[in-house]
């Protein structure tokens, strides 16, 4: 019998059976007992010889992930997680090759994939930011029977082994709840979009949907304004446009930024206006944390991006070495980060970053 056969009989996923076999936890006592009973009845044993041979084989695990720079530091966190994961799985014969692209340029995404496929990967961990271009990439991976999983962005309708990341719609709903805590009945809200086409980014699109859904259900009369902020435009123009908008709409008391750039928005708002407005954003980039600690940002919603990168490498390694199937999705916690609690969070990432720097 195979793991899939055991899973079918126990009415659970293959990944759940695999966790019981390898004592990795995360399974309820009742389910574990049922699985172990079936394993015993079927006299199922892990093929240790095959596992040992698999561990001696070298595998090329390629990652396709956005670039980061001082203006866009979010992707540094999952990159460090990938790097840490690569160090931990090196003994299993896993070689990590990282291919990066410009998150605002679909052609850069395709070009990076063309370089990736030339490396003849055994498996791919990818961030499927662009919907249309991802379909082209997946067609190639499926044709060559290369397994892949999605990191951070959850696109449906593909044959990815797994999705690891946030539940973006739920993250938007959470942002809505936090926003409601910050305002009174007659107050108005402002959503600032920092991408020219946010609807081509599934994660941000779902956050926007979740946020709007929350207020539609709870307080449909709440007025939500929406404006565009392009960080590559002249700062003076951005500053003038946003402050003029706030001047024209004095009832705006809370701003929600559905991307990782809430700190960029804070920089262009006049300090006297900023002191009267609550700011809510996403992700614990160094700039966002600085704005949080300075009191400009009230809440950040973290998606544990370092852990996403790390888990993606570990899970794909388990698949390559032991053929252990992961769960269809591995949602990451949505943490509410405040000025008071950040230093008690993200310890794994800070520890590893210190090690890298030193």
Quick check: 357 pLDDT over 70?
no
Residue 198 is predicted with a pLDDT of: 64
pLDDT tens digits, residue range 128-159? Answer: 988 889 999 999 999 999 999 999 999 899 99
For residues 135 and 24, which has the higher predicted lDDT (pLDDT)? 135
Are 164 and 153 within 8 A, CB to CB? no
Are 268 and 315 within 8 A, CB to CB? no
Pairing of strands 335-337, 299-302: antiparallel
pLDDT tens digits, residue range 280-296? Answer: 999 998 899 999 999 99
Residue 339 in domain: no
Confidence of residue 89 (pLDDT cuts 50, 70, 90): confident
Number of domains within the chain: 3
Among 26-30, 197-201, 232-236, name the one with the lowest average pLDDT.
232-236
Listed residues 302, 322, 352: the one ending a domain: 302
Residue 247 in domain: yes
248 φ/ψ sector (left φ>0, alpha ψ -120 to 50, else beta): alpha
Structure tokens at 116: 């990736």
CA distance 108 to 100: 9
Residue 358 is predicted with a pLDDT of: 45
Residue 119 in domain: yes
pLDDT tens digits, residue range 203-236? Answer: 889 999 999 999 999 999 999 999 987 755 566 7
For 72, the 3-state DSSP assignment is strand
Average model confidence (pLDDT) for the chain? 88
* Domain harbouring 191, CATH code: 3.40.50.2300
Residues 9 and 103 in one domain: no
Q: What is the mean pLDDT of residues 296-312?
A: 94
Are 280 and 326 within 8 A, CB to CB? no
Residues 42 and 61 in one domain: no
Helix H, strand E, coil C: the string for 268-321 is HCCHHHHCCCEEEEECCCHHHHHHHHCCCCCEEEECCHHHHHHHHHHHHHHHHH
Strand partners, 210: none
Residues 40 and 69 in one domain: no
Pairing of strands 94-101, 329-331: unpaired
Strand partners, 224: 189
Quick check: 4 pLDDT over 50?
yes
Residue 349 in domain: no
Residue 351 in domain: no
Quick check: 49 pLDDT over 50?
no
Residues 264 and 226 in one domain: yes
183 class by beta-carbon count within 10 Å (0-12 exposed, 13-18 middle, 19+ buried): middle
pLDDT tens digits, residue range 53-83? Answer: 455 578 999 999 999 987 778 899 999 999 9
Residues 152 and 273 in one domain: no
**Single pTM value for the model:** 0.76
Residues 208 and 251 in one domain: yes
Per cent of the chain over pLDDT 70 is: 89
Residues 194 and 315 in one domain: no
Q: What is the mean pLDDT of residues 296-311?
A: 94
Print the domain residue range for 310: 50-164+305-332
Quick one: how far is CA 171 from the chain centroid?
11
């Amino acid at each position: 019998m195979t793991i899939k056969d055991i899973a079918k009989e126990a009415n659970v996923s293959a990944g759940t059976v695999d966790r019981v076999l390898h004592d990795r936890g995360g399974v309820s006592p009742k389910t574990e007992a049922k699985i172990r009973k079936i394993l015993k009845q079927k006299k199922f044993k892990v093929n240790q010889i095959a596992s040992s041979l698999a561990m001696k084989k070298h595998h090329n695990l390629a990652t396709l992930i956005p670039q980061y720079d001082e203006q866009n530091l979010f992707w540094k966190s999952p990159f460090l997680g990938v790097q840490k994961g690569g160090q931990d799985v090196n003994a299993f014969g896993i070689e990590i090759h990282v291919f990066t692209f410009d998150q605002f340029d679909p052609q850069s995404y395709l070009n990076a994939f063309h370089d990736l496929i030339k490396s003849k990967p055994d498996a791919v961990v990818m961030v499927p930011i662009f919907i249309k271009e991802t379909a082209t990439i997946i067609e190639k991976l499926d044709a060559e029977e290369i397994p892949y999983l999605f990191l951070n962005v959850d696109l449906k309708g593909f044959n990815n082994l797994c999705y690891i990341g946030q539940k973006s719609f739920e993250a938007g709903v959470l942002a809505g709840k936090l926003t409601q805590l910050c305002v009174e009945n007659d107050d108005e809200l402002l959503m600032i979009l920092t991408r020219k086409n946010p609807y081509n980014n599934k994660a941000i699109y779902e956050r926007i949907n979740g946020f709007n859904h929350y207020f539609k259900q709870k307080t449909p009369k709440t007025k939500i304004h929406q404006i565009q902020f392009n960080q590559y435009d002249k700062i003076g123009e951005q500053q003038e446009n946003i402050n003029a908008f706030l001047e024209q709409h004095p009832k705006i008391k809370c701003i929600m930024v559905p991307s990782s750039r809430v700190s960029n928005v804070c920089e262009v708002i006049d300090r006297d206006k900023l002191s009267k407005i609550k700011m809510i954003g996403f992700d614990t980039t160094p700039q966002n944390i600085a704005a949080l600690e300075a009191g400009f940002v009230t809440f950040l919603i973290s998606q544990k991006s370092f852990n996403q990168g790390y888990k993606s490498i570990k899970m794909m390694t388990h698949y390559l070495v032991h053929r252990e199937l992961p769960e269809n999705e591995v949602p990451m916690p949505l943490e509410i980060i405040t000025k008071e609690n950040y230093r008690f969070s993200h310890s794994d990432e800070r520890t590893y970053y210190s090690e890298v720097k030193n």
